[in-house]
Structure 1
Amino acid sequence: MSRLDSMLRRLSAQRDGLNWAADQVAGVAGDVLDLGLGNGRTYDHIREILPHRRIWVIDRVLQCHPSCEPPEEDFLMGEAAPMLAELGRRSDGIALAHYDLGRGIKDEDVAEAAKLSEDLAQVMVPGGMIVSGQPLVGFEQVTGPDSIAPDRYLFYRT
């Protein structure tokens, strides 16, 4: 599979997974978290599918497209672990989280996700969902939508 085809498959899975997860948490109270803003495409999509939820964003730097900048009060800039702790103090809880941290070095990305799993668990509400590109630990993994190949994206219920 070409890198272009792989990217298209990943982006489709991400979109389908977020749409599915948003439906899953329709009756769950809480905010939304985009962990890893990047250029802001995912954040922009979350704003569209969950317009009435507060969307928190955590990233090391703000370098997204100008149309995708989160409000200053919802953007926590810095390393993920201390920013998740700050989020725990500022939010009443997260109903849906999108985990998209990583540098593309699989072993390092998997280790970071495992390390951050406990911090992420501290901000999630019961019955919440996590959509993740990396395996997380300590959560109940669930099967996502049929349109997504197994292990392309991972889904967890809290």
Structure 2
Amino acid sequence: MSRLDSMLRRLTAQRDGLNWAAAQVADLKGDVLDIGLGNGRTYDHLRETLPDRRVRVIDRVLQCHPSCVPPEADFLQGEARPMLEQLAQENAPVVLAHYDLGFGVKEKDVAEAAALSPAIAAVMGPGGIIVSGQPLVGFEELSGPEGIPPGRYLFYRAG
């Protein structure tokens, strides 16, 4: 499979997974969290898909497309762990989180996701859904929507 085809499959799985997760949390109260803003595509999709929810963002730097810059109050700039700890102190439950941090080195990315899992759990509201590009630990793993190959994207429910 070409890298282009692989990217298209990944982005389609991401979109379909986020749409599925949004439907799963429709009756829950809480915010949305995008961990890893990047160029802002996912953030833009989340705010369009869930217009009545506050969408918070964590990233090391703000370097997204100008149309995807979150409001200053919703952008937590810095390393993920301290930003998640800050968010946990606010006691504003997250009902849908998207985890998309990475260095581009699989072993390093998996280790970081595992290390950050407890901090992610601390911000999640009961029954909240996490959509992740990396394996997380300590959550109930879900099948996710039909049509996404196993392992392409991962889905979890918070306790």
Residue in 2 that maps onto 1:143: 143
Distance 1:10 1:91 in 2: 33
TM-score normalized by the length of structure 2: 0.98
Instruction: Note the alpha carbon deviations across 1:20-73, whole angstroms, 9 max, x for none.
Output: 000000011110000000000000000110000001000000000000000000
Distance 2:75 2:91 in 1: 12
Residue in 2 that maps onto 1:99: 99
1:25-104 paired onto structure 2 within 5 Å? 25-104=25-104
Could you tell me which amino acid in structure 2 is paired with residue 47 of structure 1?
Answer: R
Judge which range, 27-36 or 89-98, deviates more. 89-98
Is structure 2 residue 14 aligned with structure 1 residue 19?
A: no
Distance 1:126 1:75 in 2: 23
Identity of aligned residues (%): 72
The alignment's C-alpha RMSD in Å is: 0.6
SS at match of 2:57: strand
Distance 2:41 2:91 in 1: 23
Residue in 2 that maps onto 1:129: 129
Judge which range, 118-127 or 81-90, deviates more. 81-90
Where in structure 2 are there 5+ consecutive unaligned residues? none
Distance 1:127 1:145 in 2: 17
Report if the CA contact (8 A) 1:31-1:91 is conserved. no
Distance 2:70 2:157 in 1: 26
Where in structure 1 are there 5+ consecutive unaligned residues? none
Distance 2:151 2:106 in 1: 14
